[in-house]
Amino acid sequence: MPWVALSSLTCEYLLTYLEGMDEVFKALNDPSRRLLLDQLFDRDAQTLGELCEYLPAMTRFGVMNHLSVLEAAGLVTTRKVGRSKHHYLNPVPIRLVHDRWISKYTEPVVGAMASMKAHLEGGTKTMPEPSHVYQTYIKCEPEQAWNAIVDGDLTVQYFYNTRIESDFEPGAAIRYLYPDGSVAADGEVIAIDHAKRLEMTFHARWDPELEAEGPAHMAWIVDEESGLTRVTVEYYDLDPSSKSAKEYAGGIAFIVSGMKTLLETGQTMVTA
């Protein structure tokens, strides 16, 4: 690709993006922090006390500091549950590192992701605690991120070449279709707060074993923080030992980075 002149806004964003990558590399450059990420990979939603058990020679304050570094780098997200704080592995920044520094040397990539937060029309709904949380920040308007989630012309560019179809009303069917019209996955809209939150079921149809495990309960959430659009994907009651949990963990981070790339650069990340 020929070099082109970059606007000051583009240069500012690139510097911010690369600084964010620096935080990820720094956070990963410590064996204790990598151990904590490994433990969250094995079992999400652990408390500080539970994570301290994996580093018995370290003080509680030391473990807390490591978790703060991971959270600042976006590798861990947290949620308060009563008086406890649950920690969730967020693999999206690692996926972005892969896309930026590894995949261009090894393989073509598709990535995408999304996030949303829990406001429903008619009031706030009490949700179960998520078993898995994936999150990214995108330099775009929230409406653009929402459209990327619900517009089939956009999902086909980052969601494994599938096109979403739905009326996007409670009880409506949702389908992700391959280019030949066959169904990759389907489900149902459970609740929706347009432009903010889509709660749904997702039933994989591309693999008999995944299909036999049944539909996953999930939500896409879109909100703003510090001038950026935050996209979050939450899964509920997903058995960590299931094939679905393992496959979705890799797939959704791939999807998220694809969405981010599409919205920020206009470029489609194409699978091999």
pLDDT digits (tens, 9 = 90+) for 172-203: 999 999 999 999 999 999 999 999 999 999 99
Domain topology for 1-88: Arc Repressor Mutant, subunit A (1.10.10)
Beta bridge partners of 202: 216
Give the pLDDT confidence score for residue 230 in this predicted structure.
93
Hey, how many other C-beta atoms are within 10 angstroms of the C-beta on 26? 13
* Alpha-carbon distance values, 114 to 8, 85, 202, 241 (Å): 27, 23, 15, 24
246 phi/psi in degrees, rounded to 5: -70, -45
Domain boundaries, the chain: 1-88, 90-272
Q: Is 138 exposed, middle or buried (0-12, 13-18, 19+ CB in 10 A)?
A: buried
Q: At 28, is the pLDDT very low, low, confident or very high (cuts 50, 70, 90)? A: confident
The three-class DSSP label of residue 215 is coil
Cβ neighbours around 62 below 10 Å, total: 13
Neighbours of 258 (CB within 10 A): 28
The model's pTM is 0.60
Among 3.30.420.40, 3.30.530.20, 3.30.565.10, 3.20.20.140, name the CATH number for the domain at 90-272: 3.30.530.20
Across 44-58, 127-141, 148-162, 226-240, least confident range: 127-141
Lowest model confidence (mean pLDDT) among 30-34, 44-48, 93-97? 93-97
Please state, in angstroms and as integers, the Cα–Cα distance from residue 132 to each residue in 114, 156, 169, 183, 235, following that order: 13, 24, 25, 25, 5
10 backbone dihedrals φ, ψ, rounded to 5°: -65, -45
What are 57-91's pLDDT values in tens digits? Answer: 989 999 999 999 998 888 898 888 888 889 988 88
User: What pLDDT, on a 0 to 100 scale, did the predictor assign at position 227?
Assistant: 87
